[in-house]
Chain A
Amino acid sequence: MIESVLAMVPEFIPGLGISLLVTIASLVLGLPLGILLALGSLFAARPLQYTCIGLIELGRGIPGLIMLYLVYFGLPQMGVVMDALPASIIALGLMTGAYTAEIFVAGFRAVPQGQWEACGTLALSYWKSLRLVILPQAIKIVVPPLIGWTIMLFQATSLAYAISVPELMSRAYNYASVTFEYALAFTLAGLMYLAVTLLGLWLFRRVGGRRRSLSAAKVAVPAGA
């Protein structure tokens, strides 16, 4: 068995690399989207505000797998064809936008109204208040749940297996379908996901997650992403 594991590890590592790549690329795509959606749903004028709220709810309401299929199998219907890897990044990036928007909104709301009032009585302008006082506090509030989302997102990259992106899960499956060591391959893959998750969790605690468990890390992020 040890021999089998030793044979698998070098096969799986590149897959783990792809999983991490998809995670990071989705964040790069999704975080700016999340900030825009959050600002839109907080401060934009009515029609745009409702559009943003609607998009956030939609992004959070659709199962991740369906989102993935929509991008990969749906966009070709409009003539947009792309490879599985970019499709998975776009799908998970859209989900990241919706979920992190909710986190950013909560972050802004968590800054007490008294802070705005203090800015107001000191005659600071709106943008200066936002930039110098509100944003620095909101960011601090938002970092732990964002790390929580990143952990969720990393786990969600396993969905890309369904469209054959050569990430960790696909590697495990392909390997096992040749050697028929399903139990071992999936267990090893699972342990690799677990290891990265625990690493993320450790980071989460380091930056001051208030409650010290995965449930706290995921608290802003309902299951089923």
Chain B
Amino acid sequence: MELLVLLSSGIGQTLGITFGALLLGSVLAVPLAALRRSELPAASTAAKILIEGIRGVPPIVWLLLIYFALGETDLKLTTFQASVIGLGIVSTAYIAEIYRSGLDAIPGGQFEAADALGMPFGAKFFKVITPQAATVVIPPLATFAIGLLKDSALASVIGAQDITFRAFQEAQANLNGLTVFMWAALLYILLSIPIAALARYTGSRLTRKVAA
């Protein structure tokens, strides 16, 4: 029980890093996805190289690169900031692909219909395209978010004081690694359940709305 309280003190950082990176990725992925779908071959190729390049490098490399390499400069980052930025970069690439497949899933006729009705770009995008894309995008986004929650454990490697970090310290001090890391594993699984539930709920709600 004491152990659980100790580990729980890392929940704040774990969730902070996860959602920080998710937010950063969700925003930065918008222009990247747009670029990826661009009709200019040069633009879409550049986006593709960027996406595959980011994803071809393990997240831990990004974390160390951001933390230590930027540490060489005057820009001194906290472990938390470095974690959010490092995992945010990785998220950007993955989420851009999720957005892209969401947009690809919308029949071309929808764009044409909106154009034919003379809808301005904003209305077309937010009233026609986004609601439809959201239903396709939310389930993979939630799967990704759960993956990201697990990946956030990597932040402990650069010293961010998340669940894994607390567990690591406790295990080093008292040599009770099995107990400690089993509790930590349980905690991660528990944290991922609401994300999955939220995804299922919003997913089904949006589907109903579009289907209706």
Contact = CB atoms under 8 A, between A and B. Distances in A.
A54 to B, nearest CB: 12
Contacts of A120: none
A213 B97 contact: yes
B134 interface: no
Interface in B62-117: 62, 64-65, 68-69, 71-72, 90, 94, 97, 101
Contact of B61 (A61, A78, A158, A198): A158
A73 interface: yes
Nearest to B100: A215
Which 3 residue pairs are nearest across A and B when measured between Cβ atoms?
A224-B147, A73-B177, A183-B69
A173 interface: yes
Contacts of B57: 155, 190-191, 193-194, 197
Contacts of B71: 182
A194 B48 CA distance: 14
A183 B72 contact: yes
Interface centre among A62, A169, A223 (most CB of B within 10 A): A223
Contacts of B207: none
Interface of A: 58, 61-67, 69-70, 72-78, 155-156, 158-159, 161-162, 169, 173, 176, 180, 182-183, 186-187, 189-191, 193-194, 197-198, 201, 213-215, 218, 222-225
B171 A69 contact: yes
Nearest to A65: B153
Main secondary structure of the interface of A (DSSP, over half): helix
Interface of B: 48, 51-53, 55-58, 60-62, 64-65, 68-69, 71-72, 90, 94, 97, 101, 143-144, 146-154, 156-157, 164, 167-168, 171-172, 175-182, 184-185, 188-189, 192
A94 B43 CA distance: 41
B195 to A, nearest CB: 12
A47 to B, nearest CB: 22
B58 A156 contact: yes
A197 B53 CA distance: 10
Main secondary structure of the interface of B (DSSP, over half): helix
Given A224-B146, A224-B148, A61 B188 contact: yes
A222 B147 contact: yes
A183 B164 CA distance: 26
A159 B171 contact: no
A169 B177 CA distance: 24
Nearest to A187: B65
A173 B68 CA distance: 10
26 contacts: A58-B189, A61-B150, A63-B150, A64-B153, A65-B153, A69-B181, A73-B168, A73-B171, A74-B178, A159-B154, A162-B60, A182-B65, A183-B68, A189-B61, A190-B61, A190-B62, A193-B56, A201-B56, A213-B97, A215-B97, A218-B55, A222-B143, A222-B146, A223-B151, A224-B149, A224-B151
Contact of A186 (B64, B143, B178): B64
B167 A69 contact: yes
Given A73-B177, A213-B97, A162 B55 contact: no
B55 to A, nearest CB: 5
A186 B181 contact: no
Interface centre among B61, B64, B178 (most CB of A within 10 A): B61
B58 A66 contact: no
Given A66-B153, A156-B58, A214-B55, 17 more contacts: A61-B188, A63-B151, A74-B177, A75-B177, A159-B60, A162-B157, A169-B58, A183-B69, A186-B65, A186-B69, A190-B62, A190-B65, A194-B53, A201-B52, A215-B101, A222-B144, A223-B144
Nearest to B155: A65
Given A62-B185, A75-B178, A182 B72 contact: yes
A213 B52 contact: yes
A180 B171 CA distance: 30
Interface centre among A58, A76, A191, A224 (most CB of B within 10 A): A224
